[in-house]
Chains A and B, each alone.
Chain A
Amino acid sequence: MIEHFFVFPNCVNIEGQLTIDITPGQYKIECGENQYTVNRQDIPDNSSFCLLYDYMLDDFIPIEHWEKLTACLNMRSMETLAYLQQSCVFQIHYYNKIPFVKVFLPQGQQTLVSHTHNFSENSYFPISFIHPLDYLYFPTFDIFNVSLDDAQENVIIDLHLVPSVTNFAVYANYGMYCLPLNPGVNHVTIPYCPGESLYIGAKGEKKKVTLYDLEEALCIHN
């Protein structure tokens, strides 16, 4: 439960001290008078859960399928939080049944308090470490070549995939198609869907952070 557990101190404008008690299958989160229990079994594999804090209501707002919300808004996580004018205190991604957890502590709180685990000896990093951490847990890729076939019906993509450290199955998601990818070099042929972008991630996942603009690569400007 805490193998991939990262805490960022001094982040959120919220009164009180954040406490997380971790038991098998549960994260019990408390801050001031607010509390929320995240049940591991309620979060499907290949999905994200976010616990937001609303200043106006002084309450937690749980959001399941955070990845779908950000995909609908076509925004990154940080952009979505700014757009919603909310702060995130707890985020969990389940990939390949492995939880990747990020905890954002209230301003002034330097270490995570817990009745079940001792986080006092942990190393804490500034918020600027969040992107390098995400890079580890999301698949990363390099696209070497994109072209249309002679009939202009299929897109041919040469890409190199470095999988997530949680080793979940990675797909090329494009239009209504999801093609499985292998670690290393991939040669993908996929029916051309004008206007669509390519996303690399879990099956059907369309995160902005993994977007690749195929139209631009093909020099097709609408």
Chain B
Amino acid sequence: MYSQLRLVMPDTVCNLACQYCLSGYNNHTSCSEAADFAAEQILKTINGRAFESISIWGGEPLANFEKLQQTVAFCRRYYPDIPIRIITNGYLMNEEKADYLNANNIAITISHDGYAQYYRNQRDFLLEHDYLNLLKRIKNDVSFNSVVHRFNCNIPSMFHYFEKAQDKIGKAIGWNFELFKLHDAKFAKFIIAGKAIDELAKSFDFLFEQFEKGHPFAYTSQANRLNSLARLIDEGKGTLCQCGANRRLSIRTDGKPAFCQVAAELGNYSNAQPDIPPMCSDCEYAKYCTGICPLMSDGYRKKLCISYKLYYFKTFQFFHSLRERGEFN
């Protein structure tokens, strides 16, 4: 069963051109495909499946507001009670859009790298009073997602940044992170290397310490991952794609299915499988990491291996210490 339906609006524009965007750092301007919203085709691909949640991805959903409204209307018609979340860079949020989110009971996840936001070459809206008021106006859950890369691998400082933002917004926010994924050799400078590896190791130690202390950021970012790990270890439920893509059904708004939202955006319709790549066969964490991303070639995979191996190394250390104390059984 798929836990989530991901609807991706691939032919839409993005207002930013973040250097390490998985969708290719191209503002989507090269995409000439102008697909209409294909409700029938989407329903056919869904084939009556049930989901626990729906997430909507762009381009940038808020930069394509009409299409977003179409997509939300579709979701609410066929899945009136399921939580919907949109993934946005947040720059185009305004009162009208905040009210729309409230009216349709939609949560948001904002991609934001904390102190390292300037690597996106954009202003940091979380320092602006008016913007914080906008976030306060949103009734549903507001979460942030940070990319951990070579210049942004200090998780304690990210906690500090988002705790401050939380105080200013005046309500609880969520936080999660993802490790940097390389899909273009141009952005090799973001690969975690040198002293950043040590910093990352300490960050993971901090993260799990905070998990034990019940810090909400540590909990929201790690609880699902630890539960998945426990299920995988105890029930041996096959290989799990480390990003969870195999537990989601990703469909473009033109109705075409794709392996994940990145594949959907890039127009890659290959039926990728989270199998263990041959180069990973000797790795003790291969079953859990499954080679980072099935869409990635070995040349990239090798460059990212250290940060993912470190994550699983630290996760397993923590997981086993919990188990020894009778937790997570």
Interface stretch, picked from B92-100, B114-122, B296-304, B318-326, is: B296-304
Contact partner of A183 (CB less than 8 A), chosen from B185, B205, B309, is B185
| A167: min CB distance to chain B, Å | 8
B198 in the interface (beta carbon within 8 A): yes
Describe B's contact surface by its main secondary structure: helix
| B4: min CB distance to chain A, Å | 30
A125 in the interface (beta carbon within 8 A): yes
Residues of B contacting A4 in the complex (Cβ-Cβ under 8 angstroms): 193-194
B188 and A123 contact, CB distance less than 8 A:
no
Residues of A contacting B310 in the complex (Cβ-Cβ under 8 angstroms): 125, 129
Residues of A contacting B211 in the complex (Cβ-Cβ under 8 angstroms): none
Whole-angstrom CA separation of A122 from B198 in the bound complex: 7
B305 and A184 contact, CB distance less than 8 A:
no
A123 and B198 contact, CB distance less than 8 A:
yes
Contact partner of B188 (CB less than 8 A), chosen from A125, A137, A183, is A183
A3 and B194 contact, CB distance less than 8 A:
yes
Whole-angstrom CA separation of A135 from B309 in the bound complex: 13
What 7 A-B pairs are tightest by C-beta distance, nearest first? A123-B201, A135-B302, A132-B306, A132-B305, A165-B193, A183-B185, A140-B302
What is the size, in residues, of chain B's interface with A at 8 Å between Cβ atoms?
27
Contact partner of B185 (CB less than 8 A), chosen from A3, A123, A133, A163, is A163
| A50: min CB distance to chain B, Å | 21
B182 in the interface (beta carbon within 8 A): yes
Digit string of A128-145 for contact with B (CB within 8 Å is 1, else 0)? 110111011100111000
A136 and B186 contact, CB distance less than 8 A:
no
B209 in the interface (beta carbon within 8 A): no
| B8: min CB distance to chain A, Å | 26
Describe A's contact surface by its main secondary structure: mixed
| A69: min CB distance to chain B, Å | 24
B285-299 contacts to A, CB under 8 A, are: 297-299
5 new A-B contacts at CB < 8 Å, known A123-B201, A132-B302, A165-B194: A123-B205, A128-B309, A131-B305, A132-B309, A137-B193
Residues of A contacting B302 in the complex (Cβ-Cβ under 8 angstroms): 132, 135-136, 140, 162
A129 and B193 contact, CB distance less than 8 A:
no
Contact partner of A162 (CB less than 8 A), chosen from B201, B303, B313, is B303
Digit string of A104-146 for contact with B (CB within 8 Å is 1, else 0)? 0000000000000000001101101101110111001110000
B195 and A123 contact, CB distance less than 8 A:
no
A160 in the interface (beta carbon within 8 A): yes
Contact partner of B306 (CB less than 8 A), chosen from A122, A126, A129, A183, is A129
B184 in the interface (beta carbon within 8 A): yes
B284 in the interface (beta carbon within 8 A): yes
Whole-angstrom CA separation of A122 from B201 in the bound complex: 9
Digit string of B178-195 for contact with A (CB within 8 Å is 1, else 0)? 000010111010010111
- 14 A-B pairs within 8 Å (CB atoms) are namely A3-B195, A125-B313, A128-B283, A132-B306, A140-B303, A142-B298, A161-B185, A161-B299, A162-B182, A162-B188, A162-B303, A167-B188, A183-B185, A184-B185
Residues of A contacting B184 in the complex (Cβ-Cβ under 8 angstroms): 184
Contact partner of A136 (CB less than 8 A), chosen from B191, B198, B298, is B191
B194 and A163 contact, CB distance less than 8 A:
no
What is the size, in residues, of chain A's interface with B at 8 Å between Cβ atoms?
27
Residue from B191, B193, B205, B283 with most neighbouring chain A CB atoms (10 Å): B193
Whether A160 contacts B284 in the complex (CB less than 8 A), given A123-B201, A133-B306, A136-B191, comes out as no
A135 and B306 contact, CB distance less than 8 A:
yes
B202 in the interface (beta carbon within 8 A): yes
Whether A184 contacts B300 in the complex (CB less than 8 A), given A4-B194, A136-B191, comes out as no
Whether A140 contacts B299 in the complex (CB less than 8 A), given A133-B306, A183-B188, comes out as yes
Residues of A contacting B298 in the complex (Cβ-Cβ under 8 angstroms): 140, 142
Q: In this complex, what residue of A is CB-closest to B184? A: A184
Q: In this complex, what residue of A is CB-closest to B198? A: A123
Residues of A contacting B284 in the complex (Cβ-Cβ under 8 angstroms): 128
Residues of B contacting A126 in the complex (Cβ-Cβ under 8 angstroms): 313
B297 and A165 contact, CB distance less than 8 A:
no
Whether A184 contacts B186 in the complex (CB less than 8 A), given A122-B198, A129-B306, comes out as yes
Residues of A contacting B205 in the complex (Cβ-Cβ under 8 angstroms): 123
Whole-angstrom CA separation of A135 from B202 in the bound complex: 22
Whole-angstrom CA separation of A128 from B316 in the bound complex: 15
Whole-angstrom CA separation of A17 from B309 in the bound complex: 28
Q: In this complex, what residue of A is CB-closest to B302? A: A135
Residues of A contacting B309 in the complex (Cβ-Cβ under 8 angstroms): 128-129, 132
Whether A136 contacts B297 in the complex (CB less than 8 A), given A162-B182, A162-B188, comes out as no
A123 and B202 contact, CB distance less than 8 A:
yes
Whole-angstrom CA separation of A144 from B29 in the bound complex: 27
Digit string of B260-292 for contact with A (CB within 8 Å is 1, else 0)? 000000000000000000000001100000000
Whether A142 contacts B306 in the complex (CB less than 8 A), given A122-B198, A162-B188, A165-B194, comes out as no
Digit string of A6-25 for contact with B (CB within 8 Å is 1, else 0)? 10000000000000000000
| B68: min CB distance to chain A, Å | 34
Whole-angstrom CA separation of A36 from B306 in the bound complex: 31
